[in-house]
Chain A
């Protein structure tokens, strides 16, 4: 009981601190928590805002989906083949430390400020953790498990699909979960750089116009979206890999 309530109590605590701090500071650009929360219904009731949210979610879904579809096979192949790994490793090492949003200006130059650029940035942001975890997961698959499969008559391709993939699944899903949060972050940053539509666009337009209660309301909405998505994903993950040995991770979610 206490365990389930703890994250909610933490949220309430945070809101109380916020409320007290803003009352004490009396700063125009720092609305109180109550003011910010009051602004939420008007945003969610606004048709334009909902269109913007829809555009954000669409880009995020496509970017995340394509990234996962490409990264899992690539990561698994890298984990099982030294040749594939040594080909892609240097490439990934170069891309890894670059903040994906920093690539945004170049991508915009080439592909414009529309959906394609933003989706590509999300794709790049999601890919790396998913590739990395799929790679680690595939590498850790017990050789003897693959040998057992080979003795039963599984071909190399079947072993990849029916042994490496399920055996690496817990690790792959850990990567996907990190990827999901990164998708949300890159989604907002891409919309912040290329203002045109989306949740990030609403947030920064409000900032420009000095509507600080909307700014903070948007932060709450985006944060809630992140928590919600992560909670849903964690539930699905737990169902898919219920067979795996329990690990020592405190789930950072509300599921």
Chain B
């Protein structure tokens, strides 16, 4: 589905200084997989997602979607951002309908689909609200519905639950899994939370701190549908978390050494 081929990204921080954000990343993501990119902040994991989204052009290397080089954003790859990025001048329904309308879907069809999606993300009754009237968790539900509405083949989620409180975050994780388990879209999910990555993913890509390199790829072999209450007691789930945490601890110690 997605091929990332020796991608590097250099940002010019000032006239003389360059910052190597990503170094020689190669990764392939199969159709229908839930893949998390996990790493400390500043490791370039979001940049990698933006490159797949076509929002950022890599300095070197190439990202491909279904064999074709990614040159820019497109409705086959739908982003969901930590900042929600809703259109504040549109109602909840207007936001969700925006993509389908842009794709040329008839108004009445777009409205019916959008209402159904809002029902699915648990926002029935909030169709005519404006984003400013919603809580963070509700805003992110709208953002998810808005992206799902134009049927992207890949969901690109950039720390989508990072700005939410722990309780809301857990509920949204559960709901995301429920929705995902219905149609199994390919998901690329950026997070810095180990639990979140293990709970949601088929595959966790661990990245090192700057410059971002792939440190290890871990397959999460846990049964689906996953239920949090069962997983928390599952020794395999606990083992994955301990294993990943330990690896990050090791690398932190290496960095602290003089």
Interface residues of A (CB under 8 A from B): 142, 144-145, 147-148, 150-154, 163, 166-167, 169, 241, 243-245
Contact = CB atoms under 8 A, between A and B. Distances in A.
A145 B152 CA distance: 17
A119 to B, nearest CB: 33
Given A151-B73, A151-B77, A153-B102, A245 B89 contact: no
Contacts of A154: 102
B32 interface: no
A155 to B, nearest CB: 10
Nearest to B78: A151
A243 B53 contact: no
6 contacts: A144-B79, A148-B146, A151-B152, A153-B99, A166-B87, A167-B89
Contacts of A166: 87, 89
B74 A153 contact: yes
B161 interface: no
Given A152-B102, A245-B132, A147 B78 contact: no
Interface string B80-95: 0101011111100000
Contacts of B122: none
A245 B86 CA distance: 13
Q: Chain A: interface secondary structure?
A: helix
Nearest to A142: B85
Contact of A144 (B74, B81, B90, B99): B81
Nearest to B88: A243
B85 A145 contact: yes
A148 B88 contact: no
Nearest to B98: A152
B132 A148 contact: no
A140 to B, nearest CB: 12
B29 to A, nearest CB: 18
Given A144-B81, A151-B152, 13 more contacts: A142-B85, A144-B85, A145-B86, A147-B85, A150-B72, A150-B73, A151-B78, A152-B99, A166-B89, A167-B87, A241-B89, A243-B89, A245-B88
A147 B79 CA distance: 8
A156 B72 CA distance: 12
A154 B78 CA distance: 13
Contacts of B83: 142, 144
B180 interface: no
Contacts of B55: 147, 150
Interface in B110-139: 130-132
A150 B102 CA distance: 11
B126 to A, nearest CB: 15
Nearest to B80: A148
A144 B50 CA distance: 10
A152 B103 CA distance: 7
Contacts of A148: 79, 81, 85, 146-147
Q: Which 3 A-B pairs have the closest CB atoms?
A: A144-B85, A150-B73, A152-B99
Contacts of A244: 88-89, 132
A144 B99 CA distance: 15
A245 B90 CA distance: 13
Contacts of B147: 148, 151
Nearest to A165: B89
A51 B23 CA distance: 74
Q: Which among A147, A152, A166, A245 has the highest number of chain B CB atoms within 10 Å? A: A152
B56 to A, nearest CB: 10
Interface string B47-80: 0001001110000000000000000111101110
B34 interface: no
A114 B168 CA distance: 66
B199 interface: no
A243 B77 contact: no
A239 to B, nearest CB: 13
B79 A151 contact: yes
Given A150-B55, A151-B77, A243-B132, A145 B87 contact: yes
A133 to B, nearest CB: 17
A244 B102 CA distance: 23
Contacts of B131: 243
A152 B75 contact: yes
B189 interface: no
B103 A153 contact: yes
Q: Which among B74, B85, B147 has the highest number of chain A CB atoms within 10 Å? A: B85
B200 to A, nearest CB: 21
A156 to B, nearest CB: 10
B180 to A, nearest CB: 19
Contacts of B102: 152-154
B150 interface: yes
Contacts of B90: 243
